[in-house]
Amino acid sequence: MEFTAGLIPLETAMEQMLSRIVPVTESESIPLLKACGRITSHPVTSPIDVPGFDNSAMDGYAVRLQDLASGTALPVAGKAFAGQPFDGEWPEGTCIRIMTGAPVPQGTDAVVMQEEATVTESGVRFNEEVKNGQNVRLRGEDIRQGGNVLPAGKKLTAAELPLIASLGIPEVAVLRKVRAAVFSTGDELQLPGTPLGDGQIYDTNRLAVHIMLEQLGCDVIDLGIIHDDPEALRAAFIEADSQADVVISSGGVSVGEADYTKQLLEELGEVGFWKLAIKPGKPFAFGRLTNSWFCGLPGNPVSAALTFYQLVQPLLARLSGEQGNALPPRQRARTVGRLKKSPGRLDFQRGIMRRGEDGQLEVLSTGHQGSHIFSSFSQANCFIVLERERGHVEAGDWVEVEPFNHLFGG
């Protein structure tokens, strides 16, 4: 693929990237309790009808309409509980006491809820008109045996897994997890817990990426901190590529003298693009290694986390085989204060959205928007997305906001 020299718009970058990604295909069968967050590899079909038998939707009385015609009270001839069906003879002119979920006795036309019945000495009287089929849940009404319950490519959560359990299925076929390798680059980086030398800082990006990868359901291969040394970096690239579907590094993608990432990507694979018209996050490299995809995040921690969120997250979703991933929702809000912005790049400022006194959505900036101010993520609950050609925004102007998802506590 051709190397693109200018700044490329985010949408173009996303399209280029996502159109090339082919989802993983290997499948495994795992217990439901282990399957939260995994993606179905095959459609789930039902081996049974749900409900499995006609049953009562209410606590009340099972009746036959012809027994009600005379209007006389009906003696109770037996009881049906959930898990304990009535299986005796049901004499004409009587009713059966029945509880919610109990199979309705053979011949039942309707169930009358107990609130609409009066118990007298001679039997039960029914106050309201009784309609055929009322309060009876029919076999197969929810799901038919053999019917499709879930498509392939569905992410399994507490909305889907209990449904599978209700079919009596103990295991589900899912796609294997995406394997993602991560490393940080920089001679200045140090591990938290060790003292800092002159000019050193603590490595924050690898933790950010590692955590988000886990939250997105990946198997993480963490290769640690790699020095700004072409040999060490080459070895890390090769090691990561041999183990992962996607390799994510941070730092070294700018144009400084110790920025070797792009050079190595050209040598070991191909560069798709590496300069985006977004802020923060301009130096984001995407490309291909021998076995894996490569994403080179910028070194500045805000830029690294933001480009991971906006670009790597959808890439991983595509790679994971998840289907039907919509773009994240955005809303319009009035800005409370002035926002600094120069035309030329799509800007993702960190904002706090809230309902104003007039009930309308409003948003305020977290303050300093520098790409080293990581605390802005923790204060914020949304991105303020400012269009590429827009300049400064005045207080009271309308802007687009994108609420944070679970990666940032949304």
Check binding of 307 to ligand AMP (CB under 6 A). no
| Contact (CB, 8 A) for 201 and 189 | yes
Least separation in angstroms between residue 228's CB and Mg ion is 6
In the set 252, 269, 287, 321, which binds ligand AMP (CB under 6 A)?
A: 252
256 binds ligand AMP (CB under 6 A): yes
Report helix, strand or coil for 18.
helix
CA-based radius of gyration for the chain: 31
User: 394 CB contacts (<8 Å, ≥6 apart)?
Assistant: 335, 338
CA-to-CA dists, residue 203 to 191, 207, 312, angstroms: 6, 8, 20
Query: Nearer to Mg ion by C-beta: 11 or 266?
Result: 266
For 215, 281, 282, 345, 363, the CA distances from 299, given in Å and listed in that order, are 21, 9, 11, 19, 28
Min CB(299)–Mg ion separation in Å: 5
Q: Any idea what DSSP says for residue 23?
A: -
Is 298 a binding residue for Mg ion by CB under 5 A? The answer is: no
Q: Residue 252 or 296: which CB sits closer to Mg ion? A: 252
Q: At what angle do helices 230-243 and 261-268 cross, to 10 degrees?
A: 50
Cβ-in-10-Å burial (0-12, 13-18, 19+) of 25 comes to exposed
Min dist CB 272 to Mg ion, Å, is 21
Provide the mask over 43-82, with x wherever binding to Mg ion is found by CB under 5 A and - wherever it is not: ----------------------------------------
Which of 250, 307, 310, 349 is the binder for ligand AMP (CB under 6 A)?
250
CA angle 275, 280, 281 (to 5 degrees): 35
Angle between helices 313-320 and 10-18 (to 10 degrees): 20
Q: Of the ranges 99-107, 159-167, 173-181, 250-258, which one interacts with ligand AMP (CB under 6 A)? A: 250-258
Based on CB atoms, which residue is closest to Mg ion, 15 or 187?
A: 187
Shortest CB 8 distance to ligand AMP, Å: 19
Largest interatomic CA distance in the chain? 98
Nearer to Mg ion, 105 or 251 (CB): 251
**Residues 227/266, Cβ–Cβ less than 8 Å:** no
Q: Tell whether residue 296 is a contact of Mg ion (CB under 5 A).
A: no
Among 301, 311, 333, 402, binds ligand AMP (CB under 6 A): 301
* Min CB(276)–Mg ion separation in Å: 18
Q: How many residues make up the chain in this entry?
A: 410
272 makes contact, choosing from Mg ion, ligand AMP, none, with CB < 5 to 8 Å by partner type, with: none
Q: Which does 109 bind (CB under 5 to 8 A by kind): ligand AMP, Mg ion, none?
A: none
The one among 242, 254, 323, 325 contacting ligand AMP by CB under 6 A: 254
Helix ranges (H only) for 244-284 are: 261-268
**Tokens standing for 28?**
């495994």
Q: Please provide the distance, in angstroms rounded to a whole number, between the alpha carbons at the two ends of the chain.
A: 37
Residue 308 CB, nearest approach to ligand AMP (Å): 12
281 binds ligand AMP (CB under 6 A): no
For every residue of 294-356, DSSP letters joined together read: EEEE-SSHHHHHHHIIIIIHHHHHHHHT----PPPP-EEEEESS-B---TTSEEEEEEEEEE-
Q: How many CB atoms lie within 10 A of CB 229?
A: 14
User: Looking only at residues 242 through 281 of this chain, which bind Mg ion when binding is defined by CB under 5 A?
Assistant: 251-252
In the bound complex, what is the minimum distance in angstroms from residue 215's beta carbon to ligand AMP?
19
Told to check if 263 binds ligand AMP by CB under 6 A, we report no
Span 171-230, contacts to ligand AMP by CB under 6 A: 184, 186, 188-189, 201, 203-206
How many CB atoms are closer than 10 A to CB 210? 17
Give yes or no for residue 280 binding ligand AMP (CB under 6 A): no
The answer to whether the CB of 237 falls within 8 A of the CB of 247 is yes
Taking the complex as a whole, the smallest distance from the CB of residue 285 to Mg ion amounts, in Å, to 13
Residue 305 as a binder of ligand AMP (CB under 6 A): the answer is no
| 51 upstream amide cis, omega within 30 of 0 | yes
Tell the smallest beta-carbon distance from residue 267 to ligand AMP (Å): 18
Q: Does 186 sit near Mg ion (CB under 5 A)?
A: yes
The reply to whether 351 sits near Mg ion by the rule CB under 5 A is: no
Where does this chain bind ligand AMP (CB under 6 A)? 184, 186, 188-189, 201, 203-206, 250-254, 256, 259, 298-301
